[in-house]
Amino acid sequence: MATKTTRKTTKKGQATKPAARSADRATRVDGKTLVIVESPAKARTISRFLGPEFAVKASMGHVRDLPKSKLGVDVAQDFQPTYTILKEKLPVVKELRESVQRSRELILATDPDREGEAIAWHLIEAIQAHGKPIRRIVFHEITEEAIREALAHPRGIDMRLVNAQQARRVLDRLVGYEISPLLWRKVKSGLSAGRVQSVALRLIVEREREIQAFVPQEYWTIEVDLLPQANGRHESSSFTAVLARVRGEKPELPNEEVARAVARELEKAHYWVVSVKERQKQRRPAPPFITSTLQQEAGRKLRFPVSLTMQLAQQLYEGVELGPAGSVGLITYMRTDSTQVAASAQQRAREVIAARWGREFLPERPPVYTKKAKGAQEAHEAIRPTDPARDPESVRPYLTPQQYQLYRLIWERFIASQMANAVYDTVTVEIGAGPELGAADAPYLLRASGSVIRFPGFLAVYREGRDEEESDELDQRPLPPLREREVLQLLTVRPEQHFTQPPPRYTEATLVKTLEELGIGRPSTYAPTIETLKQRRYVVVEDRKLVPTELGILVTDLLVQHFPDVVDIGFTSRLEEELDEIASGERQWVPVVRQFYEPFHRQVEEAERTMERVRVAGEPTDEICELCGRPMVIKESRFGRFLSCSGFPECKNKRPLLEKVGVQCPQCGEGEIVVRRSKKGRTFYGCSRYPDCSFVSWERPTGERCPQCGGVLVVTMRRGQETIRCNSCSYQPAEAAAPVEA
């Protein structure tokens, strides 16, 4: 979502005409130092910190790339790439060429990573700037202090970083342009393959096969509710213990019959405390965000897709209009592998912590986070607020709801990372049970655990999110005071049936986590990789989980069979390490590309001869063809997914695929509510019986009626969170009065 901007106005309050603004820009360059950045938002923010001798312009991102219509890499001439100016950037390049000719010198202030270095190099070539003094500056936050520091320490273009990015681009082009056409001929048109993309898809497909092959195993557990008898304690002192040992062995409760037999013995047993173990523990705060952990946490806590997280972070980094303060960069650079923090930022954070929470929440010395992700690139800073004193509420009026949510997440995580450890007590109690009270060799041993926070430390601000399958001992309820040999009163014995669970499907967050752990891709690649998998319909998102389609499974199987190296996790990770070595000057880029390409090209030639043409089977559904009675399947065309008869071509019946939300139509009661798209792409909800039923709503119906007026209760977004309200009156359920997590 775009950041808020204000239009420049004249003294009479009228908007300045675009032509006048353009002319003004042109005259401002004469004899000045021209600074080029990527985006207008970044240009506006930087302009605030530079004097009248500077003119700042935006390149609007990349201006050159390999051509779209051909390979653009001369394999015979050491993989020499041929770059062309992007068609849509021709007017921008023309203006920048004119500006650089009128300027005194050129400063390239593109982003501080390999891609930013490559953009700077391409700009020099595209705008023909070789005749001017050229300086390159880098900064990790858009603040006056950082800009002034960067201007004081300019450098030249780092060709090691450029070549590392160039090698990545050439490798990706070779893979895409040699495998993709093969898939078009052998499977269907419009498919694609890529180094990181195909490995990520393989992970998702293999996880799905693990799930499909998984055979659940039944098992039972027994929980016992107990009450201390000393001093006549009330039932509020009751606690739960779990059966941990049966006659010295781990309990084997494979079925209901065995579990019920043990439960009957426990119902007759006496209970007493065997041991009480108390420990005081400390928990250190999580380090400030790097790119991958920001993507993961925004997925867990805010349910943001990875692409949305990066889009919002880019806006916060480049600058947001803060009323009279103008455009301000709120966070440091958002593509980073490093958890290090500038000493000045730590000091400002300590001042905020002491003023707001008290000096007891400060550690003796600022913490040091030195661990980096596997294959970390440049020594950036972590993602943090540019000014720790700028709390989320102070900027909330100027941000969109989603910008506010992400800024709050970044601010809280950083502030917490600079706070004192949390201190908490854990108690583990072992309980004997058997026919003889206090026996030394009790046949049954149960265990209960609890925890109590003694000093919240960083938990006063922020607690790290966890994936669904993870547990946390801080969530354990406190136990009542207990002592050894204390007699306990039995309240309830509860045998419970369980089944072993398959590994969970990947979410976007857990896929990013896995790719990072394996050293696959880099911070800038995760978002486009996942978006490509979704756009190609290799995966679909169901309940926030990534599920491979039949097409995704088919493509993965073909790649594993014919291009084992391309989709091999270890091979891809090693190639990433070689790209890092190019960036550090330890390797030359051409030999790295050649070492990959020669065996790869032989595999392409072999696959051209041996890969048989395969037909993509439609995804099965429960829908029945109303013409011939055969099942309908989901197919795809360039216009999107649709339902087609599985009897095609004998039966050519097809109809639109309706995305149901599981709610009956509140108007006709016969149809189901389905997701629809307006001509402008906006989502709305309507009845599946349209045009026979005309019900529509911009907000998703819940399926319930308003108890006050009988209107339809809908789910609406309020300050970036989902809440429930009536679409006809002001009614809002009490439990939805406060926003619930989206």
Q: Which residues are catalytic?
A: 333
Rounded Cα gap, residues 124 and 110, in angstroms = 12
According to DSSP, residue 658 is labeled P
Q: How far apart are CA 426 and CA 652, in angstroms?
A: 66
d(CA 635, CA 208): 20
Q: List CB contacts of 220: < 8 A, sequence separation 6 or more.
A: 253, 254, 255, 256, 258, 259, 495, 496, 497, 498
Half-sphere exposure of 210 (CA within 13 A, CB side): 12
Q: How many CB atoms lie within 10 A of CB 252?
A: 10
Whole-angstrom CA distances from 290 to 27, 86, 295, 522 are: 41, 31, 9, 11
Specify whether the CB–CB gap between 645 and 653 falls below 8 A. Answer: yes
State residue 650 phi and psi, 5-degree precision: -60, -45
Write out the DSSP string of 277-333.
EEEEEEEPPPPPB-HHHHHHHIIIII---HHHHHHHHHHHHH-EE-GGG-EE--B--
Tell me which residue of 386, 373, 296, 302 sits closest to 341, measured CA to CA: 386
- Asked if residues 618 and 550 have their Cβ atoms less than 8 Å apart, the reply is yes
Q: How far apart are alpha carbons 238 and 490 in whole angstroms?
A: 10
- Closest residue by Cα to residue 382 from 344, 348, 337: 337
The candidate with the shortest Cα–Cα distance to 419, out of 501, 355, 500, is 355
Q: Are strands 105-108 and 33-37 parallel, antiparallel or unpaired?
A: parallel
Q: What are phi and psi of 293, to 5 degrees?
A: -70, -30
Q: E strand or H helix at 497, and its extent? A: strand 487-499
- In SS3 terms, 691-737 reads as CCCCCEECCEEEEEECCCCCCEEEEEEECCEEEEEECCCCCCCHHHC
**Cβ-proximal residues to 514 (8 Å cutoff; 6+ apart), any chain:** 203, 506
Q: How far apart are CA 23 and CA 54, in angstroms?
A: 17
Token pair belonging to 285: 């705060």
Task: Enumerate the β-bridge partners of residue 446.
Answer: 243, 431
Cα→Cα distances 364→327, 361, 382, 415, Å: 36, 10, 21, 15
Q: Can you list the alpha helix ranges (DSSP code H) found in 131-192?
A: 144-152, 159-186
Q: What are the residues facing 545 on neighbouring strands?
A: 542
Distance CA 452, CA 325 (A): 45
Letter for the amino acid at 127? I
